[in-house]
Amino acid sequence: MGRPARQTQEGRSKRVPLNSFRTKLHIPAEQMDTAYHYRWFKDVGGRLEQAQNAGFEFVVNDGKITVGEREGNTDIGGNISVLGGDDPRNPGGSYRMILMRQPIDFHKEDQQLKQDRVDGLNAQIYGNIRGDKVENAYTPPGASPVYRP
């Protein structure tokens, strides 16, 4: 008696070793609409309502989207979501990650608001980044009075 013959793997799903690099939340770029910015949200504490107020909408599972290594999602509903794991704020509980999207114009507007805030903070610390003189701006000894990123 020897070792049994190796069985063929036809009809099986692809085997992924436990210690391999896995991308659970990856969505291939060709499956995303370029008119939107996509983001995963943790379904806790009103985050989904905050996202909707910011212009995000749920991505509906139409059967064409592959999430990580599986097609579709792990939710019974129509929205794309995956089980996120254990919730540290709720021992023994878990949470879901929901895929949402925002029109790209809203996303660019939000990014510009964040950059304007950073520029304002830099102006307060280093002086105006456009080169205008700012009264009472801190300049380190030996440094140029204008911050240039």
pLDDT by position in tens, the chain (length 149): 566 555 555 666 666 666 766 677 888 888 888 999 999 998 888 899 999 999 999 998 877 777 776 655 566 668 888 887 766 677 767 788 899 999 999 999 999 999 999 888 877 776 655 555 556 666 667 766 554 54
Give the DSSP letter of residue 60.
B
Q: Any idea what the Cα angle at residue 100 is, between residues 95 and 102, rounded to 5°? A: 150
**Helical residues (DSSP H) of 3-147, grouped into ranges:** 47-53, 104-126
CA nearest neighbour of 94 among 105, 113, 81 = 81
Q: Alpha-carbon distance 128 to 139, whole Å?
A: 11
CA nearest neighbour of 75 among 93, 92, 91, 59 = 59
What's the confidence (pLDDT) of residue 23? 73
